[in-house]
Amino acid sequence: MLFWPKLLTIAHAVACSVRPYLPLYLSHLLGFSCLDIAILMAVPLLLRSVSLGFWTIIVVDPRSLLHGFFMALLTAVGTAALVLILWIPPHASYAWYAALFCMVLDGLFYQPLGVLIDSAIIKILGDYKMLYYDAQRQWGQLAAAVMAVGIGWSLDDDHDFDTLMGTVLTGSMLLFLLSLSTTVQPADPSLLGIPTPEDDEEASTLLKDSIEPTVTTDSTAELVHTPNEDTLSDLQRPIYKNYKPYCLFNEQLSHISEEDASMIQRMASTTNLSTRYHQQQQQQQQQQQQNTGNQPRPTSLAGSESLFSQIAGLPPRPPSCCHSSSAESNAGTATGDVFHHSSSQYWATTASTTANNILEEEEGLFAAMPSLQLALLPSPPPDAPMLVLWPQYHKIFPVDETRECFHTIAPPQRAVWCLVISLFVLGTAGAMMNALLYIFLHDSLGIPMHMVGIVGMVTIASEVAARNSVSWLAHRFHLIGVVGSAHITLIICALTYTWLQPGHLAVHGLAVILQLMQALAFQVLWLLAIRQVDAVLLTADQYHRMFLRGKMSVLFNSIGPAFGSVLAGILVDSCQTEILLGFTRLFRCTAALLILNALISWPWCFSVIEY
């Protein structure tokens, strides 16, 4: 059993379980206003969009052997920032600035830890990351749910926030030791319970259930290796009752059959990709040398100019699919015909090999930066795809004119913009509803801390439920129906929050139900948007998939939540007389924003985006 990824996710979940309680700590012990707290919560959200790509793509991927060391380093610095903010003296004049400095360190060092752990998991799983990645992360979510209830129960009576300090130190120390002890390399398939080729040498998976050609005679108990007529008819008819690979991905067979090579390409391991990339690069160089040597010597001035460009190593002109010249079509001389034949042969060879070059570039890119494969997982975490937006990635893998000529069909910009704007609005609305939610539940409604802990538990449980149910919803209902139902659920939750009043016992249970519904709706909308990218970009390459997912991730999980958190603080502090009136105004504005987003979501629910 492969237990190192499970332990890493559990330790990280324990260390991060105190984050939802930080607004209560800043409000009760340090006396910050809601706007001050909102700004402090927005700083690490903004910085994570830069720090994730820097530590993952620039620092860790080129130094795979030091992956565990860098995780331990970030754990130490990030833990120091969290411990420092919990040691700030109450009501000190420099308290807010010290807290701001701690949040900057948290955004630069502690926020990337989650993606680094996810990167370590897919590297350890190797070829089987598509099958076992979600199962490894569920252990961390289980630990986070248990810790949410435990911390809430410990704060129920005396508001002893020293529990937060002990939880951070325990989880971080465990994560630090595990990071130094973990070797990030592909694991043995036997640790995952996968049979090796030596265990199944006799027959393939397709024929195991059909090869039964032996019959037993009544007179003797010996086996006669003579197949009867019924057995022969069964052998001619293949049996697939146990072999259903598309069920492993929770997808329909038609979806995978129409998918391009990117689905299989994502399964390639780092070692195999690197080897194939170098072999194909050598073969391509040999083929180009042969084509250059076999070309006839051109006799025209244009042919001499083309020959000079080939000898000098200058980049050739773009193919005819990208640019066309009217002068070439008017060539009628004999020398022009000779040159036209040789030039056409050259450009035909170049065009036929460009698609292979693009595939080789992508394979080489994944071999050099395997963490980019996080952006191509079927159900990635909301913060993982944003690492592809680091500028160094686009310098290594540019989109040139040769690549663009193979994707001449431009995407409908209206649908793409609506998809991106919709994710930004969802991230903003999610932060407006959840950034100061614990303060609203405990200080405004008087809900005890153990019930607040249960609210945190159902938030984590909704993420697991959404990931397991989104495939079922997408296959049985129309996309616009699911998206519309999710928006209606969010609007109802936002308006119901405005009707809650303190002093009623039913408010406790209703708060848990509302949190479960709205957290499930937000997660379903995120997963549906990601699935929409994969479902409609069937002819696009990996670059366009990852880049669009990265933009969606940074808007839904970084810029949008930061903007929504600040906006929530402004709206709550606008009512100085009673904090409950400020939260009522906040949830009404959130409901209006969700109604607007429901209208923005229509184009990307109906449109098909193709390249």
- What pLDDT shows up at residue 391? 56
pLDDT in tens, 495-507: 999 999 888 888 9
Question: 231 or 140: which carries more pLDDT confidence?
Answer: 140
Q: Is the CB of residue 18 less than 8 Å from the CB of residue 81?
A: no
Q: Taking residues 63-69, what's their average pLDDT?
A: 89
Mean pLDDT taken over the chain: 75
Q: Which long-range contacts (CB under 8 A, 24 or more apart) does 313-322 make?
A: 316/347, 316/350, 318/401, 318/402, 318/405, 319/347, 319/350, 319/351, 319/354, 319/402, 319/405, 320/347, 321/351, 321/405, 321/406, 321/408, 322/401, 322/402, 322/404, 322/405, 322/408
Class of domain 1-187: mainly alpha
Contacts of 244 (CB under 8 A, 6+ apart): none
Give yes or no for residue 78 having a pLDDT over 90. yes
How far is 363 from 385, CA to CA, in rounded Å? 18
Torsion sign over Cα 324, 330, 336, 341: positive
Tokens at 139, concatenated: 């252990």
> What is the gyration radius of the CA atoms in the chain, in angstroms?
29
Tokens of 357: 């070059």
Side chain identity, residue 99 = A
pLDDT digits (tens, 9 = 90+) for 311-321: 343 344 444 44
pLDDT score recorded for residue 141: 92
- What 3 state SS string does 544-566 have? HHHHHHHHHHHHHHHHHHHHHHH
Regarding predicted confidence, which is higher, 231 or 78?
78
Q: Tokens standing for 155?
A: 């704060």
Helix, coil or strand: residue 223: strand
Per-residue confidence (pLDDT) for residue 12, from 0 to 100: 95
Task: Tell me the pLDDT band of 184, cut-offs 50, 70 and 90.
Answer: confident
**Dist CA 53 CA 385 (whole Å):** 9
pLDDT at position 65 is 87
pLDDT of residue 11: 94
Of 63-67, 197-201, 392-396, 418-422, the range with the lowest mean pLDDT is 392-396
Three-state DSSP at 159 gives: coil
Whether 608 has a pLDDT exceeding 50, the answer reads: yes
Confidence at residue 318, expressed as pLDDT on a 0 to 100 scale: 41
Q: What is the pLDDT of residues 336-383, one digit of tens each?
A: 443 334 333 433 333 333 344 444 455 555 566 778 888 888 888 898
Residue (of 276, 269, 277, 272) closest to 187 by Cα position: 269
Would you state the pLDDT for residue 596?
A: 95
Looking at residue 577, its pLDDT comes to 74
- Return the ∠ at Cα 176 (arms to 383 and 553), rounded to 5°: 5
pLDDT beyond 60 at 52? yes
Task: Answer yes or no: is pLDDT of 98 > 90.
Answer: yes
1-187 matches 410-610 in fold: yes
Compare 160 and 537 and report the one with higher pLDDT.
160
> How much is the pLDDT for 548?
87
- Position 264 pLDDT exceeds 50: no
Name the residue ranges covered by the structural domains of the chain. 1-187, 410-610
pLDDT at site 379? 84
Distances (CA, A) of 373 to 129, 419, 462, 534: 10, 22, 25, 14
pLDDT category of residue 592 using cuts at 50, 70 and 90: very high
Q: What is the pLDDT, as a whole number, of residue 298?
A: 42
Return the sign of the alpha-carbon dihedral for residues 160, 162, 165, 171: negative
pLDDT tens-digit profile of 112-133?
A: 999 999 999 988 888 787 778 8
Q: For residue 114, which of 205, 187, 40, 9 has the smallest C-alpha distance? A: 9
Report whether pLDDT(226) > 70: no
Q: What is the mean pLDDT of residues 270-288?
A: 55
CATH hierarchy code of domain 410-610: 1.20.1250.20
For the ranges 73-82, 166-175, 466-475, 514-523, which has the lowest average pLDDT? 466-475
The mean per-residue pLDDT over the stretch 300-320 comes to 39
pLDDT digits (tens, 9 = 90+) for 441-470: 999 999 999 999 999 999 999 999 998 898
Q: How much is the pLDDT for 546?
A: 83
The percentage of residues in the chain with a pLDDT greater than 70, rounded to a whole number, is 64
Q: pLDDT tens across 376-413, in order?
A: 888 888 988 898 887 545 554 544 444 444 344 444 56
Which residues, listed in sequence order, are joined to residue 216 by a DSSP beta bridge?
Answer: 223
Q: Which two tokens stand for residue 465?
A: 């439920």
pLDDT at 368: 61
pLDDT of residue 1: 52
* Max Cα distance, the chain (Å): 100
> Which pLDDT score, from 0 to 100, does residue 380 have?
87
